[in-house]
Structure 1
Amino acid sequence: MEAVETNTGAIFFVDGPGGTGKIYLYRALLASVRSQGRIAIATITSGIAATLLPGGRTTDSRFKIPLNPEASFMCSITKQSDLAELIRRATIIIWDEATMTNRYAFEALNRTLIDITGVDYPFGGKIMVFGGDFRQVLPIVPKGTKAETIAASIVKSSLWSNIQILRLKQNMRSINDQQFGEFLLRVGDGVQPTIVDEMIKVPTLMAIPWNGEESIVRLLQEIYPDIRNHSFDVGYMVSRGIITPRNEDVDKLNEKIIQRFLGVSRVYHSFDKVENDTQNLYQQESLNSISPGGMPPHALHLKVGAPIMLLRNLDPSFDLCNGTRLLCRALNDNFIDSKILTGHFKGTRVFLHRIPLKAPKNLKLPFEMTRTQFPVRLSFALTINKSQGQTIPHVGIYLPDHVFSHGQLYVALSQGVSDQTTKVLVKKGSVNNEEGVYTRNVV
C-alpha cells in the first residue's frame, strides 16, 4: 500500500501455502485500491480461481499471452488498443498462481508493458503482485524432465532478482485442525518421513484400504452420500469433489457417479472432422475415439441436476472461464440450460451451445482435428491440476497409480479442511507388508 500511495513501481511475490488466505489478501488489496478511485487489474493463471476475485480474469485472456510462449515472444496487445490504455492507467496488477506459469510468459508480459508504457523499468514501472506456492504443481512441460520443469519456473527468470518476497504462514483453511495443517506443510516441504521410493504413510483417519471395486464404491459413498436425493442441491455439489491425477480416471469416476444419479441420461455426440480431408481418409470411428485432455468426449453423457465444468473461456467477464462449474437445469437438443455454481455470478442462468474445438498441438496428431461439441465435462471428479486454487471441504483423493509430478499430492491434500473430511484411496498402497496405506510424494 505504501508503493500505491507513493506511486512508485515495485514487484512483490506473496508466498503462502495453500489455505493461508492469499485470495482473501488480494480481495482486501483490490477493495482498498479501487476505493481510492485507482485501477487495479486482477488475474489468476487458472480459470476457476479467477472467478474468486472481483473483476478477475485468466492471465492468458487478460494479457493476450501466447499459448506456447518462447524466449523472445511478446503479448498480442497493440499500443493503440483499449487494453493498452487500461494497462497504462492501472496502478497495480495482481497475478495469482504464478508458480504454475512458464517463465517465458512473465518475460513476454514484461517486454509488452515496457513497450506500452514507454518506461524502461521491469514491467514498465507498474506495481506487480505475484502470488503462489512453490510446493504446488509447477509449470507443465510435456514429457519434460525435472530439470526442464525447474528451468521453466519464474525463479529461473532474470526478473526474479527484482522481486520482494512476502510470506503468509498461518493456514486459515484448516485452522480448526492444526495437526492436519502441520501434516500438509510436512508433505509440501518434503520432510514427512518416507520409506522406499519416496512413499509416505497416509494418516489412518483419512485412508481407505484397497479392497477392489468395493473400495471405489466406499469412496463414492463417503464423498457423495445419498446423492440420489441431492439433485439441484448447489451447496451439496460445490462442497464435494473427487480428484485424481489422470483424465482417463476422471472419466471413469464421473461415469460411475452419473449412473448413481437420478434421472434419465442424455447423450450428446460430437461432429468430428479433419481439416482439408477432402477424400475422407480418416474414419469417423477413429476420430471419435480420440479424447485428449481439455476437450469434451465424443459421447457426452449428462443428466438434469448434474454438475458440469466449462473447458473453454467463453466470456471471462461473466465468469464463464475454463474451469467454471455449472449445474444442468435442462438438456435441450441444441443447447444446455445451466446456472453458474460459484463466483460473483453464482446463480446466473447460462445457455451453452456446441462450438468447434481444435485438438491441442501437444497431442501431436498427424492431422488437424476439429470437434464440434458442447465445451463441458461432468465435474463430480476432476484432475488434481484442475483443482489447484480451490477449496473442497469434502474431498476424495483417488490414486489408482501414484502421483507422477511435483506437488500433486500436496495440492490434492490441501483442498480439504481437515483429516475427517478428506479421504484417500490408493490402489497400490501396500509397501513391503508395512501396516497402513502408503503413497508416493514427489517433491
Structure 2
Amino acid sequence: MLKQLSNSITDFDLPEISMQLDGNVELARVIPEEISAPVPPEDVHCVEHINDDQRNSFNVIMEAIDGDTGQIFFIDGPGRTGKTFLYRAILATIKLRGNYGLAVASSGIAATLLHRGKTAHKTFGIPVSLHASSTWKFSKQDIEAQLVKHAAVIIWDEATMTHRHSYEAVDRSIRDLMGVDIPFGGKVVVFGGDFRQILPVVPKGTKAQTIDACLVRSTLWRHVQILRLSQNMRSRNDEEFAAFLLRVGDGCEPMVHENMKKLPPSLCVTNGNQNSIDSLVHEIFPNLTEHVGDVTYMVERAIITPTNNEVDMLNEKILKRFAGRERIYYSFDSVPKDRQNLYQQEFLNSLSFGGFPPHALRLKVGSPIMLLRNIDTSSGLCNGTRLVCCQLMDHVIEAEILTGHNKGTRVFIPRIPLKTAEDVKLPFEMIRKQFPVKLCYALTINKSQG
C-alpha cells in the first residue's frame, strides 16, 4: 500500500526493514499481477460492439501495437463520440492477448472510467511545479518506471487539459528509461480529448499563454497521427443538442454580445418566484428530501460551475435542504517549522485552497462526496472518485463508490495529513489533518471533466 503511494515506512517514523527485498522479485510479482487482472465483462462488450467509426481507429492502433512501431496517436472527438468506449476496447484486447496497457487520464473522474485507471500525475510521478526541462520523480529501477517500460500501450485520456510540459517531462523520462532517443522511447502512446473543451490552466495567464501550454504547441505534436471520431453515441435521440454543442465548440454559434452566446430555451431554467440559484437547485435536485440514500438519484446529477467559491456556496445551500442530521468534522491545522507560533490556529483554519478539504467539513448520511487524494487506486479510491456517505463515524467515513469499475463497493475513508501543494502561494507549508473529501452536489468544470 505504501509503495503504491510512493511512500515508505521511514516516512512515518517507523523502523526500517533490515532485509532488503530484491527489486527483481518485486517486479516479478507486480508485472504478472498487472497482466492477470481480470478483464471486466463490460470491457469485453466494448470490443464486440465498437461502431465502424471506432473500428477504423481501433485497427490502426492495434496494428501499431502488434508491429511495435512506436507511434503516437491522438483520438480527436467531441464529447459523446465514444472515446472512452474505444480505449476500453483497446485495453481489453491487449489484456486478452496476455499483455497490459497503462490507462491514465488528466482528471480523476476520467481515470475512474477506465479499468485500473489512474491520474497521469500519479502514474508518471509528474512534479507539481513544472518547467521546460522537468522529468518524473522515479528512478529506472522503481516499479512504477518498470510498469511503464513493459506496457504494450499508454492511453492518456483528456489530454487537452494538461500543460505540454507534462507530456515533455514524461517523454524525456521514457526516452531515458528505454535508452532510445525517439518520442516516448518508441512506446505506442494514444492521447485523446477535444480541444473544444477544457484547455490547460495557466494561473492568471493570457489567451496566448493558454494556447502555448497546449499539446499542439509541443515539439511532440509533429509526430502525432490524428484519428477522428464523429459519430455521437450518446445523443442519437437528441441530434439537435449534439449539433448545438458542435457549433459552440467550433465557434459557429452566433454571438449575442461580446463573449456571450444565447442558449436554447430547453437548456434554460426559468426563475419563477425564486431567485436564479434556488431555481437551478430545484431543477437539478427536485424532491431532494425524498431521495436520502438513493444512490441512483445522486449519481445522475450535479451542478457544474467555473470556480471553487461557487461550488462551496452551492454545496452548502444544497446540504441545508437535504434531510438528516448534520455532522461537522473539524481539522487540525499546523505549520511544522513554526517553532515561534507565528501562525495562530484561527488563521490556519480560515485558509481554503482548491483540492483541499475545508477546516469544518459538514456532511450528512446520503450526501455525495468526492475524494481529493489517491488512497488506494487498485480499489477505485483515487483523486476524483465520487462516493455517497453511508455512515459518519468518529474516525472513519463509510461510503459507497458511485462511479467506475468499483461502483457499489463499500469503503472506509480515514483522516489523513494533507500538505499544501507546491503551487500554493504561501510563505510556509501547512498540514491539515482531515478527511480528504468534499461535498460534490456541485463541481468545478475542470474537476467534472470526463
- TM-score of the aligned structures, taking structure 1 as reference length: 0.85
Select the residue among 216, 229, 240 that pairs with 1:179: 240
Deviation at 1:91, TM superposition (A): 1.4
Provide the C-alpha distance between the structure 2 equivalents of 1:147 and 1:75, rounded to a whole number of angstroms: 27
Q: Does 2:418 align with 1:357?
A: yes
What secondary structure does 2:258 align onto?
A: helix
Residue 380 of structure 2: which of 289, 307, 319 is its match?
A: 319
1:145 aligned onto 2:186: no
2:362 is aligned to: 301
Q: Distance in 2 between matches of 1:84 and 1:267?
A: 41
Which residue in the other structure is 1:214 paired with? 275
* Counterpart-to-counterpart distance in 2, 1:217 and 1:250: 14
1:111: which partner in 2? 172
Q: How does 1:16-95 map to 2 (within 5 A)?
A: 16-95=77-156
* AA partner of residue 191 (structure 1): C
Equivalence map 1:180-329=2 (5 Å): 180-209=241-270, 214-329=275-390
How many Å apart are 1:316 and its aligned residue? 1.5
CA distance in 1, matches of 2:293, 2:70: 48
8 A contact 1:244–1:250 mirrored in 2: yes
CA displacement at 1:85 relative to structure 2: 2.6
Deviation at 1:214, TM superposition (A): 2.9
SS of 2:203's partner is coil
Where 2:423 maps in the other structure, the secondary structure is helix
The structural deviation recorded for 1:216 is 1.9
1: CA distance, partners of 2:264 / 2:155: 37
Distance 1:366 1:239 in 2: 41
SS of 1:69's equivalent in the other structure is: coil
Report the residue type matching 1:20 in the other structure: T
C-alpha displacement of 1:271: 0.9
CA drift at 1:301: 0.7
> Aligned residue for 2:396?
335
Superposed CA RMSD: 1.4
Q: Which amino acid aligns with 1:192?
A: E
Structure 2 SS opposite 1:336: strand
Give the CA deviation at 1:71. 1.1
What SS does structure 1 have at the residue aligned with 2:406? coil
Residue by residue over 1:142-194, the C-alpha shift from the partner in whole angstroms, topping out at 9 and shown as x without a partner, is 11111111111111111100000001112222221000000001111111100
Query: Are the counterparts in 1 of residues 326 and 362 from structure 2 also a CA contact under 8 Å?
Result: yes
1:366 Cα deviation after fit: 2.5
The answer as to whether partners of 1:99 and 1:153 remain within 8 angstroms in 2 is: yes
Residues 1:211 and 1:363: Cα distance change in structure 2 (over 3 Å): farther
Whole-angstrom CA distance in 2 between matches of 1:200 and 1:305: 37
Instruction: Confirm or deny: 8 A CA contact 1:74 1:108 kept in the other structure.
Output: yes
The one-letter code matched in structure 1 to 2:171 is N
Give the equivalent residue in structure 1 for 2:68. 7
Contact between 1:142 and 1:362, CA under 8 Å: does it hold in 2? no
Query: C-alpha separation between the residues in 2 aligned to 1:293 and 1:316?
Result: 21
Given residue 269 of structure 1, which amino acid in structure 2 is its aligned partner? Y
Q: 1:361 to 1:75 in 2, by over 3 A?
A: closer
How far apart in 2 are the matches of 1:312 and 1:7?
35
- Where do 1:131-170 residues align within 5 Å? 131-170=192-231
**1:329-382 deviation per Cα after TM superposition (whole angstroms, max 9, x unaligned):** 111111111111111111212111111112234331222222111111111111
Equivalenced residues, count: 389
Report the CA distance shift for 1:88/1:279 in structure 2 as closer, same or farther (over 3 A).
Answer: closer
Residue 203 of structure 1, CA deviation: 0.8
| In structure 2, distance between residues paired with 1:380 and 1:183 | 26
Question: Structure 1, unaligned stretches of length 5 or more?
Answer: 390-443
Amino acid of the structure 2 residue aligned with 1:259? K
Task: Give 1:305 shift.
Answer: 1.1
Counterpart AA for 1:55: R
CA displacement 1:28-54 (0-9 Å, x = unmatched): 111112211122111111112111111
Q: Secondary structure at the match of 1:116?
A: helix
**Greater relative contact order: 1 or 2 (C-alpha under 8 angstroms, separation 6 or more)?**
1
1:102 to 2:154 alignment: no
SS of the residue 1:119 aligns to: coil
Matched residues in 2 for 1:209 and 1:288: separation?
38
Alignment of 1:362-373 (within 5 A): 362-373=423-434
> Which of 173, 185, 206 lines up with 1:124 in the alignment?
185
How far, CA to CA, are the matches of 1:363 and 1:65 in structure 2?
Answer: 17
Whichever residue aligns with residue 37 of structure 1, its letter is: G
Task: Check whether the contact 1:359–1:369 (CA below 8 A) recurs between aligned residues.
Answer: yes
* Change over 3 Å in CA distance of 1:82–1:367 after alignment to 2: closer
Q: CA separation of 1:299/1:381 partners in 2, compared to 1, >3 Å: closer, same or farther?
A: same
Aligned-pair CA distance for 1:72: 1.1
Task: Give distance in 2, aligned partners of 1:77 and 1:275.
Answer: 26
CA distance in structure 2 between the partners assigned to 1:367 and 1:88 by the alignment: 37
Q: 1:207 Cα deviation (Å)?
A: 1.2
Tell me the distance in 2 between the aligned counterparts of 1:185 and 1:36: 37
Contact preservation (8 Å) 1:336, 1:352: yes
- In structure 2, what is the Cα distance between the partners aligned to 1:71 and 1:377? 33
Bigger drift between 211-220 and 321-330 goes to 211-220
Moved over 4 A (4+): 209-213
Q: Quick check: which one's helix share is greater? A: 2
